[in-house]
A and B are shown apart, each in its own frame.
Chain A
Amino acid sequence: MADVEVVDPKKCLEESCKPKCVKPLLEYQACVKRIQDDESGHKHCTGQYFDYWQCVDKCVGPKLFAELK
């Protein structure tokens, strides 16, 4: 029984929800690129990161428990 590779359904669903949340993901990636050369250490992409993960969470939330016992 332990031979079967267990896959975490949450990670799986988060991957499948990525296409739905392309827009905030691209925003985040654009932000990362923008602050790449920042030396001050004050710039960060928390806002875009939150927007992306909020979108993914909204997508995953209703579906996750159906995959669990």
Chain B
Amino acid sequence: MVGGGVIQQILRRKLHSQSVATPVLSWFSSKKAHVDAGSSGVRAFALLGAGVTGLLSFSTVASADEAEHGLACPDYPWPHDGILSSYDHASIRRGHQVYQQVCASCHSMSLISYRDLVGVAYTEEEAKAMAAEIEVVDGPNDEGEMFTRPGKLSDRLPQPYANESAARFANGGAYPPDLSLITKARHNGQNYVFALLTGYRDPPAGISIREGLHYNPYFPGGAIAMPKMLNDEAVEYEDGVPATEAQMGKDVVSFLSWAAEPEMEERKLMGFKWIFLLSLALLQAAYYRRLKWSVLKSRKLVLDVVN
């Protein structure tokens, strides 16, 4: 009984600081003072008071807007998902073409060099030819001047803007992020990027997006600065694959996945090999341990009374 009263006191003091329903709570406690029922009644009252206050304080909390997190993207069955699955390199090659023709005007990929593409998406000659198409600033020369020269394999992929400020200025204040690591830099990156690129839709009733932004349910908040870039046949694939929006999305995400995780194939092979070898080593170690311990484990202790 006394314990119940103390609990009620503690609860009241604790809840007083959080609750907005203080007059209600004091009514409860004043009512309790007159009632000197059994301990179970007091405890029930204390719990009731706590419950009501809890409920009331929750109602003052605003419910989170689901647009804030963006629509959850579905899981697509990427061909490179399995434990021993490699990238679809034809898809990477097409994806690079999509990046170059559609995305490179705004998004940099400053961590990828032309030489990284050799053996992955292009032959050395093709990569050299691609690199030679761009102009790179180099220098200083013997006269102390900077000069421009055609690109080499060792050069990074070209950046569309000189710096972030220039990028923001050209895109209404929004910075088109560097895509070198984008599939690792976003939660559920591969599925998210695909869903985002192919998910431009009309906004729901009641939502209006201001001029300069576009609605995309997958983007946190719903209003993205990038317009819909993948449109059917925007690109003509070298290998003749029909360039639908979904096809281009798949290919460009394969390319971006490779760019973020070029080591993936080697990593999977290494992982498979070492997990297999270490399991064998585990079996061997377990056997050896049991062998050594068998001496002790098979001991017989005899308790003999000597008279």
B interface: dominant SS: loop
Within 8 A of B (CB), among A28-64: 28, 31-32, 35-36, 38, 41, 43-50, 53-54, 57-58, 60-62, 64
B77 touches A65 (CB 8 A): yes
A49 touches B217 (CB 8 A): yes
| Range class of the A interface residue count | 35 or more
| Range class of the B interface residue count | 35 or more
**Is B108 an interface position by the 8 A CB rule?**
no
A31 touches B205 (CB 8 A): yes
Additional A-B contact list (8), CB under 8 Å, known A8-B245, A53-B201? A1-B240, A9-B244, A10-B198, A48-B204, A50-B71, A53-B71, A64-B246, A68-B247
- State the B residues within 8 Å of A (CB): 65-67, 71-79, 90-91, 195, 198, 201, 204-208, 217, 222, 232-233, 240-247, 249-250
Complex: A54 Cα to B66 Cα, angstroms: 13
**Which residue from chain A places its CB closest to the CB of B245 in the assembled complex?**
A8
A67 touches B246 (CB 8 A): yes
- State the A residues within 8 Å of B (CB): 1-2, 4, 6-11, 28, 31-32, 35-36, 38, 41, 43-50, 53-54, 57-58, 60-62, 64-65, 67-69
- Measured between beta carbons, the chain B residues less than 8 angstroms from A65 are 76-79, 250
- Measured between beta carbons, the chain B residues less than 8 angstroms from A1 are 240
Complex: A62 Cα to B110 Cα, angstroms: 33
Q: How far is the CB of B196 from chain A (nearest CB, A)?
A: 12
- Measured between beta carbons, the chain A residues less than 8 angstroms from B78 are 65
User: Taking each of A49, A58, A60, A61, which has the highest tally of chain B beta carbons within 10 Å of its own beta carbon?
Assistant: A49
